[in-house]
Amino acid sequence: MTAPHRPPPTRARGVAALAAAGFLFGSTFLVVQGAIERADVVPFLAVRFLVGAAVLWPLARRRPATPGEVRHGVAAGACLLVGYVLQTAGLRATTAATSAFITYLLVVIVPLIGVVRTRRPPSANVVVGVVLAVAGLGLLSGGVSGIGRGEVLTMGAALAFAVHLVVLGEVAGRHDPIRLTFWQVLTVGAACLVPGAASGGGYGFDRGVWVAAAFCGVAATALAFWCMAWGQRVVPESQAAIILLLEPVSAGILGELAGDHLGPVGLAGAALILAAVVVAERAGPKTTALGAELAVVPPER
């Protein structure tokens, strides 16, 4: 009996996967905000990412391994780890709104990395999308009121997250996305495990924090990072970065429903970010080299 035919990853499916990742990341904003008030960040991250790894492992162990997947997964996970650590350290010296704005400046950093790597300027649709996205971020978050230690650390986090997107875009097409995601997630969780125990509160979470960590581990870690790995097989990293800006939009919309109103300026910012996503996709290429290659390769037997 032959294996069932699996449709190749198309650009449309890749965009949908990345949009889902952005929504899942944004959906945890209110949950994490409440949990971090009652627990230290590092042990919370350890539990969140280890829960994600535990969810992925039963699926990953049934998938075929590929050469270099552990090395690539650990490298991508290390970028995530650095990003989360710097972002957390930066939050101690800046506001959440400023942190969000600077972190998502990765939409500028990712195309710049591409220019350095390829020595070719980004496409016009990416440039327009980045301009709209940065303007929307400024309106949605309020921008930056000053530059200090917190802002510098957060810029380092943005660079780390941007490098993560670039690394994932480079290696995602070579490996099974579930196995690649497992190694990324396990890297972050394992690296935070011992420092988390040594932190002030350790793992003495109340029930609500454990529930929040479990929810984030399943939705915003296992599922969301798998969506990223799957989507970046066919969507270039510059456009992937713009699509992932749906995270602050979804967080803002959910906050609006919870009573934390965006106001006219915030709504305008969200609209600009949505416009950036549309421009990046409507004016961009509909397939990538990987998508075209997979479309003509017969399914595995």
Please report, in tens digits, the pLDDT of each residue of the chain (301 residues total). 444 445 556 888 888 999 999 888 887 776 776 777 788 888 999 999 999 999 999 999 999 999 999 999 999 999 999 998 888 788 777 776 677 778 888 888 998 898 888 788 888 888 888 888 888 878 876 766 667 788 888 899 999 999 999 999 999 999 999 999 999 999 999 999 999 998 878 899 988 889 989 999 999 899 999 999 999 998 988 889 888 888 777 777 766 666 666 678 777 887 888 888 888 776 554 444 444 333 333 333 3
| In-domain check, residue 140 | yes
Cβ atoms within 10 A of the Cβ of 178, count? Answer: 18
- Give the pLDDT of residue 282: 67
Asked if 154 and 230 touch (Cβ cutoff 8 Å), the reply is: no
| In-domain check, residue 300 | no
User: What pTM does this model have?
Assistant: 0.83
Asked if 227 and 21 touch (Cβ cutoff 8 Å), the reply is: yes
SS (H, E, C) 102-170: HHCCHHHHHHHHHHHHHCCCCCHHHHHHHHHHHHHHHHHHCCCCCCCHHHHHHHHHHHHHHHHHHHHHH
SS3 state of residue 215 = helix
| In-domain check, residue 168 | yes
| In-domain check, residue 297 | no
- Count structural domains, the chain: 1
Spatial distance between the Cα atoms of 237 and 169, rounded to a whole number of angstroms:
6
| In-domain check, residue 295 | no
Q: Tell me the residue range of the domain where 60 lies.
A: 11-288
| In-domain check, residue 5 | no
| In-domain check, residue 299 | no
| In-domain check, residue 284 | yes
- Give the pLDDT of residue 260: 63
Spatial distance between the Cα atoms of 43 and 25, rounded to a whole number of angstroms:
19
